[in-house]
Amino acid sequence: MTDETARLAALHVQNILDTAPEVGFDDIVRLATRLCNTPVALVSLVETDRQWFKARIGFEPCQTPIAQSVCKHAIGQGDLLIIPDLTSDARTRSNPLVLEDPHLRFYAGAPLITPEGLTLGTICVIDHVARPQGLTEGQADDLKALARQVMALLEMRRLIAGRDELLVQAEGHRKQAEHDHSELAAMFDQAPNFMALLKGPEHIFDIVNPAYSRLIGHRQVIGKTVAQALPDATEQGYLDLLDQAYRSGKPFTQVGAHFAVQSDPDSPADNRYIDFVCQPTRDEKGSVTGIFVEGSDVTEHVLQTRRVAALADFGETLRDMGNAEDIAQAAAECLSKAIGGSCIGFGKVDLQAEEIHIDVDWCDSYGVSVVGSHNFRSFGSYIENLKRGETVVVSDVETDPRTVSEVDGFKKVHTSAFLNLPIMVRGSLDAVIFILSARTRKWTSEEIGLVRQVGDRAHAAFARLRAEHEQQILNEELSHRMKNTLAIVQAIASRTLREVPDRDAVNALTKRIGALSRAHDALLETRWVSANLKDVAEATLSALEQVDSFHLQGPPLKIGPRATLSLSLLLHELATNAIKYGALSVPEGQVAITWQVENGTDLDILRMTWTETGGPPAHQPSGRGFGSTLIAMGLIGTGGTELCYTASGLIASMEAPLAELQQP
């Protein structure tokens, strides 16, 4: 008898081919998918011209032709067959199941070996994505253990069929099966994911593992229905999901689902986030008998994602804030989204009185507002830590030595735990960001780190406000002195030049000084950072009697201090010439001032046009005075002005790089 003949004979002795599904085998493939984290698991038996699946999950056909079999390559191998990428292995890359739907990519199979060393098939796990790393050592060991369990079940079936002859051997195999079951139970208990087995349409707890017990607050649930044991979960709609899965017989999956765990009705809920699947279990007839719940607690991942988003939003929000109260409110809202708490806020510290003054805070339904003034000593001795710039982290006010003597004070504001972050200014305690929790709480390093980041950004924003306030005071003082100086210069020029017979030149000088003064005022409005082009133009032309004859049109545009002064002098000279010789020398004359930005390949260009109409024809002057020189210098003092003298009036075209116009 050849080896293949013996192997097929051993397979047929099992009398298992084409039999109905059995719970034991179905449970094994389901557990295999969870242990190895794959969508597909099969108990595959290899015959002459086909491979037939006693149990399957994630794979629709109950059998495939032997030509499409990957398991056949495990026959006679004696150990795990692992193919990390089916598309790159010569044995499988042309397999239709690899090339076409369902596009298999990863395979790991543990051979089902009889005591005589004959391989009947495999228990295999399959994925639709390649796994260069294969299985972990633990997963490989688990898959081998499941193979032994399959063989134990096969052998048990055979023994039951022939129990009159094999009664003594059956006892030994029973003990082996119990041992293997214990191994599976141990793996169930040690699994990092939470698991629970519910029986019947009432969803009675039959088995839960330690991870599930931790998730629900270590409540005693075995033998109770979900409605009895977990009223909080029932109120949140989870019982409806179980009913749906039980009635339909279809698995139900959710990702990042919110689960507010409230093991004590009088305590605040503990907000958790979970990924889970409700998988109906069936008997040998295929009828649904219960629900297997499996999942993982992804709370930390969800919260970390929220922390990053909240911190980014906080940074964006701070850019537009101009007062301390708004900054404090934004900091509290950021922390409420990212960390949560019963009351969150920001307070200014009076170090001499050892008091904190709170103008704004944020509270949830369990929190009590603490807006007002409070003495630190009324809540313990931790102010000494704050004075040294140390973050105060208290997980339980009733056990922390700094707060245990003042528990009653904390109870009045519904606080069982809190976190205080000091904000220091020049080495001295200036303010505190606080988070109060109505329940005891272990603060994580990530939460403390986020509070520090929010505190640093809030501190920087407060410092910016102080600096801007101080700069504004300085600017106003400088402006006052500058205007006084320009007024003195203007008075000196008028007095010094009063004997000069050419009064036009004297008037031109004093008016130019006036134009500079008005440009200075426009810059002061924006603290000498920039000025609006239209505001500069209007301020320059406002002193003229013909101000209503000017028409300005162009997009809002900020220009820097240097360009502001140049533009002011340029428009003053053009306006003066228009009044003397051009369109504004007659009542019906008009001047249009337009500007636009043209986007270039290398740089953007501002183009401005001065167009006079309704006046006498324009003629090029015979000489070149200082005014002509100012006009020729253009928008930023570097040229770029083109003058066109037409019968309808002067047209002045000016251009300059936008980046240079906006330089501080």
Is the model's pLDDT at 522 over the cut of 60?
no
With a CB cutoff of 8 Å and minimum separation 6, the contacts of 51 are: 44, 45, 63, 64, 66, 69, 71, 72, 121
Angle at CA 308, nearest 5°, toward 307 and 309?
Answer: 90
Is the model's pLDDT at 523 over the cut of 50?
no
Please give the CATH number for the structural domain made up of 530-661.
3.30.565.10
Helical (H) or strand (E) element with 201 = none
Higher pLDDT residue, 660 or 531? Answer: 660
For domain 3-187, the CATH architecture is: 2-Layer Sandwich (3.30)
The upper half-sphere exposure of residue 101, i.e. CA atoms within 13 Å in the direction of its Cβ, equals 2
Higher pLDDT residue, 573 or 64? Answer: 64
Residue 44 and residue 66: Cα distance in Å, rounded? 11
pLDDT at residue number 528: 47
Task: With beta carbons less than 8 A apart as the criterion, state whether 274 and 257 touch.
Answer: yes
- Tally Cβ neighbours within 10 Å of residue 618: 22
Start-end ranges of CATH 3.30.450.20 in the chain?
Answer: 194-297
Residue 541 and residue 568: Cα distance in Å, rounded? 9
Is the model's pLDDT at 474 over the cut of 90?
no
Sheet holding 641-646, edge to edge: 550-553, 590-598, 605-613, 649-657, 641-646
Fold of 194-297: Beta-Lactamase (3.30.450)
pLDDT at residue number 436: 92
Is the model's pLDDT at 645 over the cut of 60?
yes
Per-residue pLDDT tens digits for 88-102: 999 989 999 999 989
pLDDT at residue number 490: 52
* Average pLDDT of the residues of the chain: 82
pLDDT at residue number 261: 82
Is the model's pLDDT at 658 over the cut of 70?
yes
Is the model's pLDDT at 433 over the cut of 70?
yes
pLDDT at residue number 582: 86
Strand ranges, E, within 128-269: 194-199, 204-208, 252-261
Please give the CATH number for the structural domain made up of 322-454.
3.30.450.40
pLDDT grade for 28, boundaries at 50, 70 and 90: very high
Distances (CA, A) of 649 to 541, 575, 577, 578, 623: 19, 13, 12, 9, 19
For strands 550-553 and 590-598, give the pairing.
Answer: parallel
Task: With beta carbons less than 8 A apart as the criterion, state whether 310 and 330 touch.
Answer: no
Per-residue pLDDT tens digits for 434-457: 989 988 888 888 888 888 888 778
With a CB cutoff of 8 Å and minimum separation 6, the contacts of 220 are: 229
Start-end ranges of CATH 3.30.565.10 in the chain?
Answer: 530-661
pLDDT at residue number 479: 53
pLDDT at residue number 46: 93
pLDDT at residue number 468: 65
Start-end ranges of CATH 3.30.450.40 in the chain?
Answer: 3-187, 322-454
Distances (CA, A) of 97 to 63, 92, 101, 162: 12, 9, 6, 39
Per-residue pLDDT tens digits for 62-74: 999 999 989 989 8
Per-residue pLDDT tens digits for 153-210: 988 888 777 665 555 565 666 677 676 667 766 776 777 888 888 999 999 998 888 8
Per-residue pLDDT tens digits for 254-289: 888 888 887 676 666 778 888 989 899 998 888 999
pLDDT at residue number 501: 62
In the chain, the amino acid numbered 570 is L
